[in-house]
Amino acid sequence: MPMKKEMTLTDLKRYLSNIDDTEIKKLICHIYKNSEMAEKMINVLILGSEYEEKLLNQYKEKMYKVFFPNDIMRAGFSLSWAKSLIGEFKKICTETEYVLDLQLYYVECGTDFTNTFGGIDMKFYDSMCSVYHTVIQAVNNHENDHLYQKFEGRLYSIVKETEGIGWGYHDYVSEQFFSISWREE
């Protein structure tokens, strides 16, 4: 027997418009109960930025544990796992500022990691540079200097912490930092 075709968003809207409020509530509660991601998304929409900030702190804790697990020899290190936390948080979070905060934390953890354990590889530094660049772009493209004021200290700290790190990492983050349009010469 062939599998039924998945519904499109239009099909879902049509279906929801044809069922009563009780059925809609039942469906939402079922999704909330059975999907951790949906639970977080619904909480963000209903509870707002206070919950989102709490969630940011939880994701920072998870990020830290990826870079610095209790037993790194046993747990290993996974750059893709760390990046997946950012991707997951982006899907849940509605505040760009919180996403940028987590992205910057990723780079901070990566910098601490390399300063603790020594040089890694080009893929690692490319990832750090790419995420740092994303944050710098957001700061530059923001309508005012709010993001720059919020993140300036942390962005510059990364420049200082990368001194002596090879693979062009320090040169790149330094160049990026000094390209921020909100900086005063």
Domain ranges of the chain: 48-177
Cβ count near 155 (within 10 Å): 23
162 has a pLDDT exceeding 70: yes
Cβ count near 52 (within 10 Å): 21
Instruction: Name residues whose C-beta falls within 8 Å of residue 83's C-beta, 6 or more positions apart in sequence.
Output: 106, 127, 131
Q: What is the mean pLDDT of residues 19-32?
A: 93
Q: What is the mean pLDDT of residues 107-127?
A: 93
> Which tokens hold the place of 116?
């603790």
- Helix, strand, coil shares, percent, the chain, to 5: 75, 0, 25
Question: What are the counts of helices (DSSP H) followed by strands (DSSP E) for the chain?
Answer: 10, 0
Q: Report the alpha-carbon distance of residue 84 to residue 168 in Å, rounded.
A: 25
Q: What is the mean pLDDT of residues 146-167?
A: 95
Residue 102 near residue 83 (C-beta atoms within 8 A): no
Q: What is the mean pLDDT of residues 153-170?
A: 94
5 has a pLDDT exceeding 70: yes
Q: How confident is the model at residue 111 (pLDDT cuts 50, 70, 90)?
A: very high
> What pLDDT score was predicted for residue 74?
65
Q: What is the mean pLDDT of residues 96-118?
A: 96
2 has a pLDDT exceeding 80: no
pLDDT, tens digit, 9 for 90 and up, residues 67-104: 998 876 666 778 999 999 999 999 999 999 999 999 99
Q: Between 109 and 1, where is the model more confident? A: 109
Residue 52 exposure: Cα atoms within 13 Å on the Cβ side: 22
